[in-house]
């Protein structure tokens, strides 16, 4: 039987990637100029600030990591143009940042706060440049493209026991569907593989990928163990425990369900994007702000986010769709939750029924429909995952 | 009648989907469609776990057909199962290998 063809309407970029949004990303090279970026973004339309807290006084590998992450945010297909706000004395390599993003063919501007004579003047000049960039890209029209050009990120947060039974299976259902249609899916949260890595390893494309899964889990577990305490309360969190999750193994076994059942093509690092279509693992921690950034860095068009206790987070340039597994939470937090997968726990609907609804919602959001969080601009908090200390 | 879901045939715990009270009779639903009744020994909150059989100290607690920890106190069928009577064997910076084998009696790999 011929497969039904699925398409979405997206912004086709010069580098061939397809976005579901068309933002001007205003990217501070360092935390010191965050407020300049906030002022520019607050006084313009169609802009999103990438308000992170890194960029200076870090070890060289972390500075390179931040530069790479900022480049990849600029390269994300939901970004149509970039304004870089530099302080002038930061550790991030702003020349490489600008030059690499420029290779995508997107318009890029840069301002330097120390050279421009301070924050107030930089806000004015930054607004002028942002205005130019917005006018340059805002007339771009969406085009119909095959779903195989779609990149989906996955996250679960503020989990309880309904996550592993309702909302994660729904996302797993959608992930399988996107992979079967030729698209790309990325999941992460290495901490939440601990106790479930053997199941993921069985789905690895080859032995190398299986050993990579083992390696990232061992490294993450050793980082937690090095502190010399039981990691419980860090993972699972007090909220997870209140929600009925007793151990990291229980949380992990429920968490990996969201990756579906298909073959895992490979493991990518925190600053990397998938090297092909299909299902990929991103080595990343479980906390929302760093994980969602990791998905944006990987080029995600939309992120499906599973929750039980009610996680409200979004991301500046990538729509985040909330699938809630707990019907009580959904009713309490309906304005933050996009879909009620809790109907599975009450026996009113099946995983496949809610899964089909989630897939249809995903396509609508890809076409431009705003998720609930996007509609109320709850999408600003973000940060990058660093390995070394602040020095 | 209140219900709990047993997710895998190997599981020795099930998840309750309402706040259940001591002396309630709970219907245990399984992945195969069969079901049976179990007496609740102590109040259990929504979404938390109930023991389906007795579990000795150091014995594996199983959900999704997989290890989710070991019993740290004796557990009997109908008990509330959570952090007060089971513990993780992963991410234990507070354990060395000797401590781990003592706690688990080497029953868990």
CB contact under 8 A, B68 and A229: no
Measuring CA to CA, which residue among A88, A36, A34, A96 is closest to residue A69?
Answer: A96
Residues of chain A with pLDDT under 70: 1-3
What band does B106 get if pLDDT is binned at 50, 70 and 90?
low
For the whole model, what pTM was predicted?
Answer: 0.93
DSSP string covering B18-45: S-B-TT-EEEEE-TTS-EEEEE--S-B-
Give residue limits of the domains in chain B.
Answer: 2-104
Q: Which residues on A lie below 8 Å from B66 (Cβ)?
A: 195-196, 199, 249, 253
Please give the pLDDT value at position A52: 98
- Within an 8 Å CB–CB cutoff, is residue B27 touching chain A? no
CB contact under 8 A, B66 and A224: no
Q: Which residues on A lie below 8 Å from B47 (Cβ)?
A: 160-162, 243-244, 308, 326
pLDDT tens-digit profile of B52-74?
999 999 999 999 999 999 999 99
Task: For residue A196, give the chain B residue with the closest CA.
Answer: B66
The domains located in chain A, with CATH, are: 23-137 (3.40.50), 147-375 (3.40.50)
Please give the pLDDT value at position B109: 45
Look at phi and psi of residue B69 and say left if phi exceeds 0, alpha if psi is from -120 to 50, else beta.
left
- Within an 8 Å CB–CB cutoff, is residue B7 touching chain A? yes
Please give the pLDDT value at position A1: 53
Please give the pLDDT value at position B107: 58
* Exposure class string for A43-68: b at 16+ Cβ within 10 A, else e: ebebbbbbbbebbbebeeebbbbbbb
What is the mean predicted confidence (pLDDT) over B9-15? 95
Measuring CA to CA, which residue among B40, B11, B95 is closest to residue A164?
Answer: B11
Q: Which residues on B lie below 8 Å from A164 (Cβ)?
A: 64
Query: What is the average pLDDT value for chain A, to the nearest integer?
Result: 96
Tell me how close the Cα of A211 comes to any Cα of chain B, in angstroms: 19
Q: How many CB pairs under 8 A join A and B?
A: 98
Task: For residue A249, give the chain B residue with the closest CA.
Answer: B68
Instruction: Measure CB to CB from residue B94 to each of A221, A228, A326 and give the nearest one.
Output: A228
Query: What is the average pLDDT value for chain B, to the nearest integer?
Result: 90
- The whole-angstrom separation of Cα A186 and Cα A70 is 19
- CATH code, B2-104: 2.30.130.110
CA distances from A7 to A4, A178, A305 (A): 10, 11, 22
Q: Which two tokens stand for residue A258?
A: 């969201």
């Amino acid at each position: 039987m011929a497969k039904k063809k699925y398409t979405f309407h997206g912004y086709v970029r010069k580098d061939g990637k397809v976005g579901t949004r068309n933002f001007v990303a205003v990217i501070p090279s360092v935390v010191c100029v965050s407020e300049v970026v906030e002022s520019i973004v607050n006084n313009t339309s169609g802009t999103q600030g990438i308000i992170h807290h890194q960029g200076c006084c870090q070890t060289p590998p972390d500075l390179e990591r931040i530069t790479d992450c900022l480049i990849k945010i600029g390269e994300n297909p939901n970004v149509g143009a970039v304004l870089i706000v530099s302080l002038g004395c930061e550790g991030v390599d702003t020349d490489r940042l600008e030059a690499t993003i420029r290779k995508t063919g997107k318009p890029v501007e840069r301002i330097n706060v120390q050279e421009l004579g301070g924050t107030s003047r930089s806000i004015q000049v930054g607004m002028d440049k942002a205005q130019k960039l917005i006018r340059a890209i805002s007339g771009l029209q969406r085009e119909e493209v095959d779903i195989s050009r779609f990149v989906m990120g996955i996250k679960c947060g503020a989990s309880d026991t309904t996550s592993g039974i309702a909302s994660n299976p729904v996302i797993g259902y959608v992930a399988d569907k996107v992979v079967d249609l030729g698209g790309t899916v990325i999941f992460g949260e290495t901490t939440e593989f601990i106790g479930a890595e053997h199941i993921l390893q069985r789905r690895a494309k080859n032995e190398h990928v299986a050993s990579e899964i083992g390696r990232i889990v061992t490294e993450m577990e050793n980082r937690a163990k090095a502190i010399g305490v039981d990691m419980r309360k860090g993972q699972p969190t007090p909220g997870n425990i209140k929600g009925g999750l007793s151990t990291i193994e229980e949380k992990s076994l429920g968490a990996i369900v969201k990756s579906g059942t298909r073959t895992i093509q490979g493991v990518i690092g925190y600053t990397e994007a998938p090297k092909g279509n299909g299902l990929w693992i991103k080595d990343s921690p479980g906390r929302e702000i760093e994980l969602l950034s990791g998905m944006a860095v990987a080029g995600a068009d939309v992120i499906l986010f599973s929750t039980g206790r009610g996680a409200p987070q979004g991301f500046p340039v990538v729509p985040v769709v909330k699938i809630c597994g707990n019907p009580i939470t959904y009713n309490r937090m309906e304005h933050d939750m996009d879909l009620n997968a809790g109907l599975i726990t009450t026996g009113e609907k099946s995983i496949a029924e809610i899964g089909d609804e989630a897939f249809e919602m995903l396509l609508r959001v890809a076409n431009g429909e705003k998720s609930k969080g996007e509609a109320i601009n709850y999408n600003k908090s973000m940060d990058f995952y660093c390995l070394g200390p602040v020095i | 009648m209140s219900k709990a879901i047993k997710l895998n045939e190997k599981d020795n715990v099930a998840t309750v989907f309402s706040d259940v009270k001591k002396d309630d009779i709970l219907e245990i639903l399984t992945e195969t469609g069969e079901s049976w009744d179990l007496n609740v020994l102590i109040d259990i909150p929504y979404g938390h776990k109930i023991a389906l059989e007795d579990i000795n100290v150091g014995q594996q607690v199983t959900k999704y057909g997989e290890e989710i920890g070991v019993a740290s106190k004796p557990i009997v069928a109908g008990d509330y199962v959570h952090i007060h009577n089971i513990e993780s064997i992963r991410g234990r910076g507070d354990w060395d290998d000797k401590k781990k084998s003592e706690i688990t009696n080497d029953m868990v790999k």
